[in-house]
Amino acid sequence: MIKVGIIGATGYAGAEIVRILMRHPEAKICWFGSKSYVDKRFADVYRNFFNIVEDVCLDDNIEKMAEEVDVIFTATPQGYLGGILTKEILSKVKVIDLSADYRIKDVSVYEKWYGIKHGSPELIEESVYGLCEVNREDIRNAVLLANPGCFTTTSILTAYPLVKEGLIDPDTLIIDAKSGTSGAGRGAKTPNLFCEVNESMKPYGVTTHRHTPEIEEQLGYAAEKEIMVSFTPHLAPMNRGILATEYASLVAKDGKLPGESDIRAAYEKYYKDEYFIRLLPDGEFPETKWVEGSNFVDISFKIDERTGRVIMMGALDNLVKGAAGQAVQNMNIMFGLDETMGLDMVPVYP
């Protein structure tokens, strides 16, 4: 049985880790860490756990936690883990971090985009980027796991096979993505109030969103060169879900642009054996409602012959595959378990 500690257990992503692990046959949560709710019953913070979780929230003492558990999930703001993590802690316990502190290899890029100084840059090289379907073999031996962001997971997985196979020009890639409000976290913020969000759609972080360098770095590895993309996120009036619609110019080979069969063959080459990636039939496009509450990613595409571009579409639940579900999938891989364990939830509808 894997003993689990969670720092940030009372945020949306932390609570989603709890929900998933409560049905995991090989994991037991031993430490519900929450700086805001020390000594308060977890089920009093989230009443959906009434008569299911009896534990009281503890503090976020990572040194003590490392002595008592096998893996620590940190669902905390950017900069938190970077400021407290040490090599000594990593010698005792595996860490799966849901923040961006160890995702970006170039610390100067991280500090520029996040506007904070990294507290432990010497650990960045030890981290493994936890995009399961791409980095599975490296994840198996990871001690420090950087769990990808929700927008980045959608954006990268949707375009990855076509970038990897050279079917599109990655420097022409435009990503238009929409997210539910839970992606902004549980903290009280005026722009996220019901009256501000309901019956409205808005772009934010235009040209400045912090997931941009993460997308560029990871797709750059696939392209085997540095790339630059245009990424614009939008806030949608829904609780959960991300829908990414991506556009890129096709690359001609032997004087001919790739067709629908070439694009589908590329997706099937990389994803046909991936349980959590569902490549939709021709003419069917992803909808957030069909992945809600699950660890699935639905992907589809359409070639625009008039413009010589391909439109790629991907949808996932930002709290599951975009955060907690992927974190548990990573845990399963790191501990040699079937990576679907505890994650085979059917999407919730309606």
Residues identified as active-site: 150
* Those residues with Cβ within 8 angstroms of residue 178's Cβ, 6 or more apart along the chain or in another chain: 201, 233, 234, 235, 236, 241, 242, 243, 244
Give the residue from 150, 120, 136 showing the smallest Cα distance to 242: 150
Q: What are the counts of helices (DSSP H) followed by strands (DSSP E) for the chain?
A: 12, 13
- Encoded tokens for 338: 């079937």
- Encoded tokens for 136: 């599975």
Backbone angles phi, psi at 308, to 5 degrees: 75, 25
Residue pair 273/125 in contact by the 8 Å Cβ criterion: no
What's the gap between Cα 331 and its chain centre? 14
Give the residue from 183, 161, 132 showing the smallest Cα distance to 326: 132
Give the residue from 229, 240, 227, 127 showing the smallest Cα distance to 181: 240
Give the residue from 206, 207, 81 showing the smallest Cα distance to 144: 81
